[in-house]
Amino acid sequence: MTLETQPSEETLDTASPTNEAGKEPKAVSLQVYIGGEFYPEAEAKVSVFDHTLLYGDGVFEGIRVYEGCIFRLRQHLERLYDSAKFIMLDIPMTLDELTQAVAETVRKNDIHDGYIRVVITRGVGSLGLAPWSCNDPQVIIIAATIQLYAEETYTKGLKLITVPTMRNRTESLNARVKSCNYLNNILAKIEGHNGGCEEALMLDANGFVVECTGDNIFVVKNEVLFTPPVYLGALDGITRGFIIEQAREMGYEVREEPFTRYEIFTGDECFLTGTAAEAVPVVVVDERVVGDGKPGAITKRLIDVFRIKTAQDGYQVYD
């Protein structure tokens, strides 16, 4: 089987960091943080015996920088520590130390608008599963630029299909844990791609809508916003939380309650949220046109608010 490559919403453009939109890419190698040192990207390596490579046993975060301001850094890092706690992995530095290391990595690469990937590996161990055979977990920080959906996607909207791969059951692998094991999402992503869609809708075993492969989902009906509760198996998205806050501040009712595809097909508006996608309108789901087939008014207002607030609501990296 061949998978055609197409622009993805989460493509790290590691070869050409830029410091401002529209400026010429700088022909410099990224400096990757691993365990307190910086390495040029070609030399940024961890052991093949690290259990994150062998088993996907590790945790990570994807974070955005807007105009030199890291969006909701503390919340991302708190989620990282919670994910690590769940899998009984001790991150070998404090949250404050990690905050400093993330900021330093952004500065070192002169990133003003970009994407940060923080990975905590389980460390090198024996070839068996046992995580207690591992020592020396690695803290990896990459700061780079990111290729988003085309601007047209935000103005015209995205098409989704529902895929057969169901979201992991909460009692098997709780989606609140942002682990390095993303095969559930990747299988769904492949099915979405095979069906001609850039993002795919995942359900649970009862047919309730859970989330997409890398994004949370919202439906708007009669000016009320609905999003699946995280206990159904969705990641507790930072962008999701931000949008809920903003929508409530704008006076909209937001309900976190289970719903099926019926509510999407018959909804007035639909949109996705995620660190890479930000807030993106959805206009077709499983060949049903949502609302009038155009990005909805409330969705557009929320996207506008998101774009204004991201550069204000965060951790300033540069003086």
List residues near ligand PMP by CB under 6 A.
Answer: 62, 185, 211, 214-216, 235, 237-240, 273-275
Distance in angstroms (rounded) separating the CA atoms of residues 112 and 107: 8
The SS3 assignment for 264 reads: helix
Closest by CA to 318, choosing from 75, 70, 22, is 70
Identified catalytic residue from 159, 178, 189, 309: 178
User: Tokens for 313?
Assistant: 């609501």
To the nearest whole angstrom, how small is the minimum distance from the Cβ of residue 239 to ligand PMP?
Answer: 3
To the nearest whole angstrom, how small is the minimum distance from the Cβ of residue 153 to ligand PMP?
Answer: 16
Which residues partner with 221 through β-bridges?
Answer: 224
Which residue number is nearest to ligand PMP in terms of Cβ? 237
Query: What residue type is 319 in one-letter code?
Result: D
Residue 266 CB neighbours (<10 A): 12
Q: Is 178 a catalytic residue?
A: yes
To the nearest whole angstrom, how small is the minimum distance from the Cβ of residue 215 to ligand PMP?
Answer: 5
According to the 3-state scheme, what is the secondary structure of 151-186? Answer: HHHHHHCEEEEECCCCCCCCCCCCCCCCECCCHHHH
Q: Which is nearer to ligand PMP, 33 or 71 (CB)?
A: 71
Distance in angstroms (rounded) separating the CA atoms of residues 274 and 214: 7
Q: Which is nearer to ligand PMP, 62 or 295 (CB)?
A: 62
Closest by CA to 8, choosing from 199, 262, 139, 170, is 199
To the nearest whole angstrom, how small is the minimum distance from the Cβ of residue 175 to ligand PMP?
Answer: 6
Distance in angstroms (rounded) separating the CA atoms of residues 204 and 202: 7
User: Tokens for 174?
Assistant: 């709780």
To the nearest whole angstrom, how small is the minimum distance from the Cβ of residue 14 to ligand PMP?
Answer: 19
First to last CA, the chain: 50
DSSP letter for 213, please. S
Instruction: Indicate the helix (H) or strand (E) that contains 58.
Output: strand 58-66
Sorted by sequence, the CB contacts under 8 Å of residue 245 that are 6+ apart come out as: none
Which residues partner with 211 through β-bridges?
Answer: 202
- Kindly list the catalytic residues: 178
